[in-house]
Amino acid sequence: MRIAFLGLGNMGAPMAQNLIKAGHELTVFDLVAASVDKLVKDGAKAGRDAADAVRNAEVVVTMLPSSAAVKRLYLGDGGVLAHAAAGALLIDSSTISPDVSREVATAAVAKGFAMIDAPVSGGTAGAAAGTLTFIVGGEAAALERARPLLEKMGKNVFHAGASGAGQIAKICNNMLLGIHMLGTCEAINLGTRLGLDPKVLSDVMAKSSGRNWSLELYNPWPGVMENVPASREYKGGFGTDLMLKDLGLSQEASQSAGVATPLGALTRQLYQLHSGRGYGALDFSSIVDALRAGA
Catalytic status, residue 170: yes
Taking the least distance from each CB to ligand NAD, the nearer of 12 and 191 is 12
| Least distance to ligand NAD, CB of residue 259, Å | 22
Q: Please report how close the Cβ of residue 110 comes to ligand NAD at its closest, in angstroms.
A: 22
Of 64 and 288, the one with the shorter C-beta distance to ligand NAD is 64
Cβ 50 vs Cβ 162: under 8 Å: no
Q: Select which of 38, 152, 170, 245 is catalytic.
A: 170
Which residue number places its CB atom closest to ligand NAD?
Answer: 9
Rounded to the nearest whole angstrom, what is the least distance from the CB of residue 190 to ligand NAD in the complex? 27
32 vs 190 by CB, closer to ligand NAD: 32
Helix axes 198-206, 165-193, angle to 10 degrees: 130
Nearer to ligand NAD, 201 or 228 (CB): 228
In the complex, the smallest distance separating the C-beta of residue 9 from ligand NAD, rounded to whole angstroms, is 2
Give me the residues that bind ligand NAD (CB under 6 A), please.
Answer: 6-12, 29-32, 35, 50, 63-65, 69, 73, 94-95, 120, 123-124, 237-238, 242, 246
Active centre residues (catalytic): 170
